[in-house]
A and B are shown apart, each in its own frame.
Chain A
Amino acid sequence: MSKQYQFKLVLLGESAVGKSSLVLRFVKDQFDDYRESTIGGAAFLTQTVTLDEQTTVKFEIWDTAGQERYKSLAPMYYRNANCAVVLYDITSSATLEKARSWIRELQRQADPSIVIALCGNKSDLAARRQVTEEEAKKYAEEEGLMWAETSAKSGEGVTEIFTAIGRPGVDLNKQATAQPGQEACNC
């Protein structure tokens, strides 16, 4: 019998790094060149991925606004989250700095079991790259994070990162079979 897991996932990162575009690609496989910025709010979307024949994961995704004005509300969205995708834009070093500060905050304040992925978005714009793969990867390894580069525009790496980020949670639940995981439901 197949098992479905339900994970809360939060997207964090500087304004305009492509959080909403990444979700749109993941959920609907669409891309919109002139997407309006997510003004004051947190969008809620869901998408289910199949990890293997027996396992599916339903992500409840909170796509938060990147604006500084609402930074104080961010903890409300990453509390109880199983996964966090922290996004930066490979064409802007400043956005990696912002991503680092989000990761520090998550490590300090989020649930200790949260799985964090650092994602360099806009890999289709490699010509204007400011953040090298090595630099980001090294940082991710030091902090024990997942790391990948993605392009919401081309779709490169998008499904892969969401599939990968669901895996540790599933494994964790499988180990803890003695006490049925709160996220798992027998479906």
Chain B
Amino acid sequence: MASQDSALRALLRPTDTVIVALEAFVVPQPTDPAIGTPVPPLPADVLSDPESVQRASEDARNRRVLAVVSHNDGPNSPEEGSVFVLKARSPGRALEQSDILRVFPVFGDFSVSMAQIRRSTLSLRLSQASSTLISLTITQGDILGRVPLVLCTQQVETLRTVLAECKRLKELVDAPPLASAPPLTTFSWLAPYTARRAPLPSLFALPEDLRVAYTPLHLRLSAAFAGDPGDDASDIVRIRDDWIRTRVREEGSRGKHLLRIRVGSFNVNGSLPSQDLSLWLGTEAAPSIPDQSLVSILNRVEKNPFEAASPLSSVEKTAQMKVVDAEVVSSTDTEGEDDDSGPDLLVLGFQELDLSAEALIYASSTAREDAWCDAVFAALGSRAGRYEKLVSKQLVGILVVAIVRTTMRPCFGEIKSSAAGTGIMGLMGNKGGTALRMHFTPPATDAVKAPAATVLTFVNAHLAAFDEMVERRHADFHELTRRLQFDLGAAAAVPRDGLPSADLNYRVDALDEDVRTILDSEDWAERRFETLLQYDQLKAAVRDKKAFTIFNEGPITHFPTYRFNPGLLKDPLGYDLKRRPAWTDRVLWASNAFARVEQRSYTGHPQITMSDHRPVSAEFTVEINIVDRPAAEAAADKLYRQLKGLEDAHEDTNARVNLKIMNVNVDMGKISYKKTVTQQVAVRNIGRVPCAYRLVPVDDESSIHPDWLTVEPMTALLLPDELVQITLTACIGNDSAARLNVDHKELNCTLILHTVMGKDHFIAVTAEYVPTCFANSLTRLTRLPGPIRSEGTLLTEDRTINAPREVMRLINWMMASDISMENIFVATADEMMVDTIRECLDTGAEFPFKPSPTDEKVPVAFGETLLRLLDSLPEPLVPVDLQQQCVEMTSRDEVFEMLDAFPPVAVNVWISVTAFLNFVCQSSADPEIKTTKIGGEVASHIAYL
């Protein structure tokens, strides 16, 4: 037994251990003489024939070893298990010479069952007194194309251990992991074992986790450095699978199917439907229900100009028209009786469906759900008969309902739902999410008889409330992505195509008064939403990669949806005075390359006033690749054959994989601030087998390339003779420039291109930095003896100039010339002009522009250059530690006092800039409006806000 264990260990990689091994045998399928191939597995029949069991047990070729193998990467990663089935290469050979025949990862639909084999007719030879014969059946339903395996064994005790271990490992996988972020890849450790055996690994079986799909391939590979190649054997499998996945998609693709989905989110604040919902659903208003909301909103039309928001889509236009003139709507309503306009799938997320205290405790009745569904169908009007409810899932007040066009119903299958509470004690359902997952299979056609399914997932979430709970909302998001699991198993919760609709409760981080002013004021009409959304907590979370990182959101052109107050404590727009208006209700989406999601509209529905939130809706078209399954599988098969030898290479490393770098020395030439320079490096596979490369850093403290350089592709697979062009792109942004301005001008680096299972190639990159006045500290600018490109050493500290000449040149030109100030800081600048102006500042050359009172573009470019120069300062003009105090200043005198705390050079720049701003505002026709308009714009450039 001990020798068997050590023999097995020899077959495994160091991270994997054998927990228990069982000796067993298979009973071969009888061969159907007519066809000559084994008949489909009918294990029960085979096993019921004692003679064939008897014969099988005596034939050494049928012997198998079943091993439960555990994988552990370290204390922080979860243990994962798998059942291996091994067979000696030839009968009687040592176990070291075994082949791994089958691998069953223990997760999801994995199961082992056992049964005693009927003994009544067994011959005496087999039933040696006490021996009992047990059959066990192993299935792994998650991996398609894999039939259950049936084995027989006499080792009853060992079998018990096997079953116990499988149970334990299964529970480990099913239980939520301890760490907040689940590992990106699960069971990837099995890849080296299955690489050669499985003709078609689980490429189609499990939807690829979107978080994995969104992570560039090179970041999914093992940690590797110069001289330390990492886990080449696993990496090659990941690179290969990615390569095959991409190509199978191309080769199996047979056109597109457009799926129209409308998603709505509505926090109903415990109310029951009392208004028509047709606007929210995008259908014509049902004429029988008098719509009171139309009256109330009409009163607001002059003060709440919807025209101000740029119309996003025809649907939104229709909605506007309804508000203004119901007649227009009816005249455009020319739809026939059996039209198929409107969405194929409607997914509606409700929050706060039930606010009663008992709802938290008992699973409440479906009365409220029914009431809302009735209202939805009523609002579908004449179309109601063409839709049916597909599925719904409720958790306390969080309800998600999917409604499908009846004719499309057969396309949806494998419908699953899930719910997770994150509310009180982190578990209760007052906050949390409900989710639906379904397979959509495009209708079969003559050309594509067996189309592959696409997985769609919809999440309806209600996250923690209140302005200051932003961190809690991030945590809720991560909690939900972890806990919203479907029966599917290890495929993580973030779906292949996720469309969460939700009251995400993210708020706007700006002063209450400002928010209301910006929303209400005419002057803000053009940039109202753009300005406020800069301070939106959700946008910030995505930007800072705190939550919802992989999600997209269409442009918001509707008013905040929260919080409205029907009573007296409201501002002119109807927003509650005690809550800052915010876009709490959002629709986000993510997709992969198999199904391209396009957002067609994103609309708030202020006409529906029954809650303190307003509902939002979003229309999507999902362009689904119609993949012909047989064609895709054939393509995968062919691609695997093309890659023959790829994984074998590691068994004979020596010089079989062979890449040639055509140019190992790359000169990028001179690189100026924000000017992109590209060069190419050609790599050819001159070996006889396919081979892959990846770029690796020098060591674990370095990055693969410096921040001013990007390299694409970072990893690739090359067939023999194939040539890949690697593109090196150099671009110096503010951060690199700030460092390079002070430091060396030579930009040299060495890229290390590691051939997987082979040589490390070095690519020497050289470049020369051309300095710029941008991204220098103000102090350094005042110590320059002349323009930054001129020769000379820095002035000593006692001889510095008063203010940077670059800032002064810009302001002087604008103030001294007879030019139009009207569009400065407002209109969009011409990039070429900004470049020219910056170049003149760097070299000291005269500006090649003649001031003219009729020219709008040049002054705008000067204004923009000034803002960008201020923006590029490594330390903002207003010192960080003084910014909070500055915001609280209320009088001119206080401001002057404050300036004493500024560094002297910043004071001078501050005075020049504010004097100039004052000049710009005063020269405007309406100074007050101008001040409001440009104030916010400029402020963000002189301080970090």
| Residues of A in contact with B (beta carbons under 8 Å apart) | 1, 10, 27-28, 39-47, 62, 65, 69-70, 72-73, 76-80, 185-187
Q: Which residues of B contact A (CB under 8 A)?
A: 6, 9-10, 14, 225-229, 653-655, 661, 664-665, 698-699, 750, 752, 755, 757-764
Q: Given A42-B226, A45-B654, are A186 and B759 neighbors across the interface (CB < 8 Å)?
A: no
A51 to chain B: closest CB distance in Å? 19
Across the two chains, which residue of chain A brings its CB closest to B10? Answer: A187
Q: Is the CB of B228 within 8 A of A40?
A: no
CB distance from A129 to the nearest CB of B (A): 31
Whether A41 lies near B759 (C-beta < 8 A) is yes
Contact between chains at A76 and B226 (CB < 8 Å) = yes
B762→A76 contact, CB < 8 A: no
B764 touches A69 (CB 8 A): yes
**Inter-subunit contact A42/B227 (CB<8 Å):** yes
In the complex with contacts A77-B227, A186-B6, A44-B758 CB distance below 8 A:
yes
| Bound CA span A40–B753, Å | 10
Complex contact B762–A80 (CB within 8 A): no
Q: B653 — which chain A residues lie within 8 A by C-beta?
A: 44-46
Q: Is the CB of B759 within 8 A of A77?
A: no
Q: How far is the CB of A47 from chain B (nearest CB, A)?
A: 8
Other A-B contacts than A72-B750, A76-B227, A187-B10, 17 sampled, CB-CB below 8 A, are A1-B6, A28-B655, A40-B664, A40-B762, A41-B760, A43-B759, A44-B757, A44-B758, A44-B760, A73-B698, A73-B752, A76-B226, A76-B699, A78-B227, A80-B227, A80-B228, A186-B6
Cβ contact within 8 Å between A41 and B762: yes
Write the nearest CB–CB distance from B6 to chain A, whole angstroms: 6
**Cβ contacts under 8 Å, B228 to chain A:** 76, 79-80
6 of the cross-chain contacts (CB-CB < 8 Å) are: A28-B654, A40-B665, A44-B759, A46-B653, A77-B227, A79-B228
Beta-carbon contact of A77 and B226 below 8 Å: yes
Does more than half of chain A's interface fall in helix, strand or loop, or is it mixed?
A: mixed
Distance from B529 Cβ to chain A, minimum over Cβ atoms (Å): 51
- For the complex of A and B, 7 pairs with smallest distance between CB atoms: A76-B226, A77-B227, A40-B762, A41-B761, A40-B664, A42-B760, A76-B227
Q: Are B9 and A45 in contact (CB under 8 A)?
A: no
Q: How far is the CA of A65 from the CA of B764 in the complex (A)?
A: 13
* Residue pair A186, B9 in contact (C-beta under 8 Å): yes
> Which residue of A is nearest B650, CB measured?
A46
Interface contact B654-A62, CB-CB below 8 Å: no
- The reply to whether A185 and B14 form a contact with Cβ atoms under 8 Å apart is yes
Contacts of A65 in B (CB 8 A): 762
How many angstroms from the CA of A73 to the CA of B6 in the assembled complex? 39
A73 to B408, CA, bound (A): 61
- B residues less than 8 Å from A40 (CB atoms): 661, 664-665, 761-764
Which residues in B have their C-beta under 8 angstroms from that of A76? 225-228, 698-699
Task: Please indicate the chain A residues that have their CB under 8 angstroms from the CB of B14 in the complex.
Answer: 185
- For the complex, give the distance between the alpha carbons of A74 and B906 in Å: 47
Complex interface: chain B residues within 8 A of A80 (CB): 227-228
A72's nearest neighbour on chain B, judged by CB, is B750
- A44 close to B229 (CB less than 8 A): yes
Q: Choose among A28, A73, A79 the residue with the greatest number of B CB atoms under 10 Å from its CB.
A: A73
Residues from chain B with a CB closer than 8 A to the CB of A46 are 653-654
Residues in A with CB closer than 8 Å to B698 are: 73, 76
Chain B nearest CB, measured from A77 CB (Å): 4
Determine if B655 and A45 form an interchain contact, defined as CB atoms under 8 angstroms apart.
yes
Q: Is the CB of A70 within 8 A of B750?
A: yes
The residues of A that contact B757 with a CB separation of less than 8 Å are 44
Complex contacts, B761 vs chain A, CB 8 Å? 40-41
Which A residues are in CB contact (< 8 Å) with B655?
28, 45
CB–CB B763/A186 < 8 A: no
Chain A, Cβ-Cβ closest to B227: A77
Chain B's closest residue to A185 (CB) is: B14
A42 in complex: contacting residue of B10, B664, B759, B764, CB < 8 Å: B759
How near does chain A come to B651, taking the closest CB pair, in angstroms?
A: 10
For A1, the closest partner residue in chain B by CB is B6
Give the Cβ gap from B342 to chain A, nearest Cβ, in Å.
61
